[in-house]
Amino acid sequence: MVRAGVVPGRRIAAYVAAGVFAVAVVCAGTVGAFGLNRVFTGLFFGAAAAVALLFALFGRDGVELTEDTIVLRTPWARSTVAWQRVVAGRFALDESGRWTLALDLNGGDEPHQELVLLSVPPVRRPVANAYDLRKREQVNEIRTMLRHKRIPVTILPEIAEALQRHWKIAPPAR
């Protein structure tokens, strides 16, 4: 199983709003139960509750590439996509200049769909921190899974060259 996925901006905003709401509710409950002198205690416990809530929400949200299917998860729903619907994969630039690894799907409700697996800032240096290392591992895991499933992947030449030079990821075999 390979874990991937990009959380859309609207969902991030909803998760952050839920976190702020958790802080407000816990703080108000603490102040209501123990008095106005416990505002900072309420804020502390509210922040702890918000962090736990955000970890739960973001941990549940994602895409899992399994041997049998592709599982799309949100905190409130779960759906699957058959590997037979995957036409191809591509590693290209998105609208904001980030590198996006996405799958093109056919069938389903819409005539053509895209499933974004990974979005990373352009690679301009060797692995320098834990974030870079995790993204490098994800790229390798996803490429291995797609290669195993015999799904063709197109990659922009400048992306392939930067991945090879900086992250030591070999270009896809023809």
pLDDT digits (tens, 9 = 90+) for 54-106: 999 999 999 999 999 999 999 999 999 999 999 999 999 988 889 999 999 98
What's the CA angle centered on 48, arms 45 and 52, to 5 degrees? 140
Same domain, 124 and 134: yes
Nearby residues of 15 by Cβ (< 8 Å), 6 or more positions away: 7, 54, 57, 58
Same domain, 77 and 22: no
Q: Tokens 């609208």 sit at which residue?
A: 95
Global pTM value? 0.81
Domain that holds residue 103: 62-167
Please report, as a single letter, which amino acid is at residue 168: K
Are the C-beta atoms of 136 and 167 separated by less than 8 Å?
A: yes
What's the CA angle centered on 108, arms 11 and 68, to 5 degrees? 85
Same domain, 21 and 94: no
Q: E strands, the chain, where?
A: 2-4, 62-65, 69-74, 77-82, 86-93, 99-106, 112-120, 153-155
Give the pLDDT confidence of 6-40 residue by residue, as tens digits.
898 999 999 999 999 999 999 999 999 999 999 99
Quick check: is 172 in a domain? no
**C-alpha 151: how far from its chain's center?**
21
Same domain, 157 and 114: yes
Same domain, 25 and 74: no
